[in-house]
Amino acid sequence: MKLLCTILSFSLLCSSLSAQIFSKKSKLKNTDFQIPRSLETKFELNGGLIFIAAGEENEGMASLLLDTGAPTLILNQAVSEKETKLRVISVNGSCPITSKKLKNFQIQGMSIGKTRSYATDLSQLERIKKEKIGGIVGYQILKPFELFIDYERKYLMLFEPGASDLHSYIKPVGEIDFKLREHFPIVKVMIGNKKYYFGIDTGAEVNVINKRLKQKICKQVDFEKKTTRVHGIGGVSMVVEMGDLPEISVDQEIYEDVPFVFADLSRINSSTSFELDGILGFPFLSSGKFSINFKEGKLYQWDDPLEQANAIERVSMLEGK
């Protein structure tokens, strides 16, 4: 059977770190955000992953992965076992991670200010994606904003309430409720007549179903299975089964012919305060135009807001003449 090289969400590498960040007793927090109003920028799409220019002021910008499934800001840096007791855990490996403070972190020239970051070796991700990667921009950086992504145009917006034409002049065509569990937006997904709980994740190149649910789901729906190779940290990879579900319902919104891989999420679930049945990543999010509002717990669906914004601007110019 054909082997397809793909990457599971980096969030799957960060579950142990997430437990540290979201623990009430943890002192490892982001502080002193200097929140700007909004940012609009083009991004690079490598496979199904979003990369943007970001970095510490006066140290130059690097290409960082935008990953809502990662708990915080993570920089690409070799870390020895002697430096730290913290580790990140993936479905098929782990590696050491350490923390550091940044004086003025920036995204595409937008100042975030002082913030806490973490560092771990991402060289395996660099080899797979065949490019230099400075790190990962995760939930703790993104949570003050609403994040809009247009995969077709390779365009995104980060904005505070009222700082964009979205919602102010352009209205969404649909919305999906989610519950925030630690750094994961969790949505209700119906497969057949059974309810499951999936995380929304821009850092996943594939949609994922927990392997333990395979028999139950296969009894409910028929779909053709094949295999793909999934990579984790430390150079470890594994072959997993994949297939297309004829139909799923996400908070009553129907989606057809949705591709998934089956992966063992037991190690991930054992280190979080909740249990994931699966993940909705790039194949789902690129099927439309979505924005994630972390504060409101909403995944908004849009028609074509950029085209509508251009129309509004043209009308305003005509009215001003």
Give the model confidence (pLDDT) of 17-28 as tens digits: 555 554 444 444
Tokens representing 116? Answer: 């806490």
Cβ pair 87, 97 in contact under 8 A? yes
Cα–Cα nearest to 1, from 243, 237, 264 = 243
Cβ pair 280, 187 in contact under 8 A? yes
DSSP per-residue letters across 68-95: TTSSS-EEE----TTT-S-EEEETTEEE
Alpha-carbon dihedral angle through residues 30, 281, 295, 65, given to the nearest 10 degrees: 30
Instruction: Report pLDDT digits (tens) over 200-240.
Output: 999 999 999 999 998 888 877 766 678 877 765 555 677 88
pLDDT, average across residues 24-53: 72
**Tell me, what's the pLDDT at 177?**
96
Position 168 pLDDT exceeds 60: yes
Tokens representing 246? Answer: 């004829």
Q: Name the pTM for this structure.
A: 0.84
Question: In degrees rounded to 5, what are phi and psi of residue 71?
Answer: -70, -25
Position 33 pLDDT exceeds 80: no
